[in-house]
Amino acid sequence: MSRRNLLNLIGTAAGGAAMYQAMTSLGHAAESTYTGPIKLDGDPKGASVLILGAGLAGLVAALELRKAGYKVQVLEYHERAGGRNWTLRGGDKFTELGGIEQKCEFERGNYINPGPWRIPYNHHAILDYCKRLGVAMEPFVQVNYNAYMHNKDAFGGKPQRFRHIYSDFQGGVTELLSKAVNQDKLEEAVTKEDKEVLLAALRQWGALDANYKYAKNGLTSDRRGYDRDPGGGLSGEPVNSEPFSFKDVVKSRLWNRMQTGGVYEFQSAIFQPVGGMDMIAKAFQREVGRLIKFNAKVTTIKQDNRGVTVTYVDAKKGGRPQTATADYCLCTIPLSVLSQIDINVGSAMKAAIDAPPYAASIKIGLQFKRRFWEEDEQIYGGISYTNLPIAMIQYPSSNFFRTGKGVLLAAYTFGANAYEWTALPPAERLKKAVEFGAQIHPQQYQKEFENGISVGWHREPATLGCYAVWTDAARKQHYNNLCAMDGRIMLAGEHASYLPAWQEGSVLSALDAISRLHKRVVAR
């Protein structure tokens, strides 16, 4: 069983709180420990730091170290800052492994975030930097009760509204529990005095009728929706909807994604930068862009008792190797790439660099001629889930009611599915994404589709994966060695945090690393 499916089952059976505890133990969730801007007191006396990578970890380090008085240089593989903080818009091009180039043809104003796409409310550090750098934020809709739940093997393969499955599952469970209370099956847990109160609470929570039944009536329709909504005048009488049988709901297994909004990281509020996630990277670049040398592919990292020397070549043109030197080096290169670079660190850090594998993942964005999900189906933001290879469809949380073309995140999946997707040529990926999506939106997908783009992170040359996957055993053996200072070299990034795959992990890792580096420098 995959870790993701295990967490889904834990969340469904025991609720969001239990799922969060499980995620914490697996290194997937934690509230940010950030308490405010870092203070690097003391004079570095002209010390220099070479930062490898202009992702968020590198950008944060460059900003704070420069402010503290350090001489800072940054080498970045791409010709842009941000790393996995990346947004694709019309006209953008990129090349994946194998030399396959894709060009984004989205209409102006449309975009897709191939990497991070949302920021939880409790990721305090990244939100604080957004505030300080003037990055405008807007709500990200995680849960939309009008979106769909889909299982190709349930309900004849027809997608069902999230609110139908949610309400009917909750109602069925509540009806079963009310029977247990009525039959005094919970005597040890509920006193006779509390029984009446509990039954009243169950009726209200599960929309049960006077006989403690979850049945077709105004109560249930007020949760799951009506066949005809209340209106005005002579034709305004609502028509109640028929709940699915509890047996069919349970059998459908659509409940396995219902807990999403209860997961600690996805509880409202969730945010996204206005105009694309890379607005964060662009804000940092305005501050420290002059320190960055772009298109710099690092080939060797060497240190001695006098400093650090890094060799690099032009990532686009190649040519003669060049060198950059500094007193210290903060390396934020993903471990999947760093493990292939010649670096002279101790055996403990080298083993730590080699330890965690990286997750394979892919995102596919599709542009449609119009925003049919809003115009035809009244879906404004949120996510539809499916057991098809696309895994989900995410509807944009911006530009509501806009006329014209719109873009959906039409697939976001991991592991074997991601490898299968990227085994296909880009055009075939789009074709398949449309075919699968048409099973959820059969009236519009084929007819309205225009163009699209796909990003498989395991085929992105500078990353070779989505994020570092730590097991408890590997973290116990290698994590401290990864984060320790090795001579004049330190590492930072989401891989050096307990919030892997999140931007917050990158930011906190960088702040921790430069804080310890600064103490070393000032002490010397």
Residues 58-107 pLDDT 10s:
999 999 999 999 999 999 999 999 999 999 999 999 999 999 999 999 99
One domain, residues 173 and 218: yes
One domain, residues 51 and 94: no
224-to-171, 220, 422 alpha-carbon distances in Å: 10, 6, 38
One domain, residues 55 and 194: no
Q: What is the mean pLDDT of residues 274-290?
A: 98
- Give kind and range of the element (H or E) at residue 504: helix 503-523
pLDDT given for residue 402 in this prediction:
94
Type of residue at 522? V
pLDDT given for residue 14 in this prediction:
46
- CATH number of the domain enclosing 399: 3.90.660.10
pLDDT given for residue 498 in this prediction:
87
One domain, residues 203 and 56: no
User: Total structural domains in the chain?
Assistant: 4
Q: Is 85 a domain residue?
A: no
Q: Is 258 a domain residue?
A: no
The answer to whether residues 303 and 344 touch, using CB atoms and an 8 Å cutoff, is: yes
Q: Is 264 a domain residue?
A: no
Single residue among 412, 438, 459 that ends a domain in this structure: 459
* Angle 176-180-182 from CA coordinates, rounded to 5°: 110
One domain, residues 351 and 370: no
Q: Is 130 a domain residue?
A: no
pLDDT at position 249 over 70: yes
The answer to whether residues 456 and 364 touch, using CB atoms and an 8 Å cutoff, is: no
Single residue among 433, 459, 485 that ends a domain in this structure: 459
| Tokens (6 digits) for 141 | 């809709």
CA distance 349 to 368: 48
pLDDT given for residue 449 in this prediction:
98
The answer to whether residues 340 and 326 touch, using CB atoms and an 8 Å cutoff, is: no
One domain, residues 244 and 195: yes
Label residue 265 by pLDDT band (50, 70, 90). Answer: low
One domain, residues 513 and 426: no
DSSP state of 271: E
Confidence (pTM): 0.85
One domain, residues 367 and 452: yes
- Give kind and range of the element (H or E) at residue 247: helix 246-252
Q: Is 279 a domain residue?
A: no
The answer to whether residues 217 and 206 touch, using CB atoms and an 8 Å cutoff, is: no
| Tokens (6 digits) for 17 | 């709180």
Sheet holding 148-150, edge to edge: 160-161, 148-150, 382-386, 392-395, 406-414, 361-368, 449-456
Lowest mean pLDDT among 192-201, 400-409, 444-453: 192-201
CA distance 207 to 466: 42
CA distance 66 to 126: 19
The answer to whether residues 24 and 33 touch, using CB atoms and an 8 Å cutoff, is: no
Q: Roughly how many angstroms between the first and final C-alpha of the chain, as a whole number?
A: 51
The answer to whether residues 383 and 395 touch, using CB atoms and an 8 Å cutoff, is: yes
**CA atoms within a 13 Å half-sphere pointing along the CA-CB vector of 276:** 22
**How, if at all, do strands 48-52 and 71-75 pair?**
parallel
Q: Is 257 a domain residue?
A: no
Q: Which of 74, 70, 103, 516 is nearest to 296 (CA)?
A: 74
Q: Is 349 a domain residue?
A: yes
Single residue among 208, 232, 252 that ends a domain in this structure: 252
One domain, residues 201 and 345: no
Q: Which of 210-214, 261-265, 291-295 has the highest mean pLDDT?
A: 291-295
One domain, residues 48 and 8: no
User: How long is the chain?
Assistant: 524
Q: Is 309 a domain residue?
A: yes
One domain, residues 349 and 492: yes
Percent pLDDT > 90 in the chain is 73
Cβ contacts of 369 within 8 Å, gap of 6 or more: 405, 448, 449, 450
Indicate the SS3 state at residue 167: helix
The answer to whether residues 159 and 440 touch, using CB atoms and an 8 Å cutoff, is: yes
pLDDT given for residue 17 in this prediction:
40
Q: What is the mean pLDDT of residues 335-339?
A: 98
- Taking only the tens place, the pLDDT of each residue in 349-387 is 999 999 999 999 999 999 999 999 999 999 999 999 999
pLDDT given for residue 25 in this prediction:
45
Find how far residue 409's CA is from the centre of its chain.
12
Which position has the token pair 């984060």? 483
One domain, residues 453 and 401: yes
- Taking only the tens place, the pLDDT of each residue in 406-429 is 999 999 999 999 999 999 999 999
CA distance 109 to 261: 28
Mean pLDDT of the chain: 90
For CA atoms 265, 270, 275, 279, the dihedral sign is: negative
Show the domain range for 182: 162-252
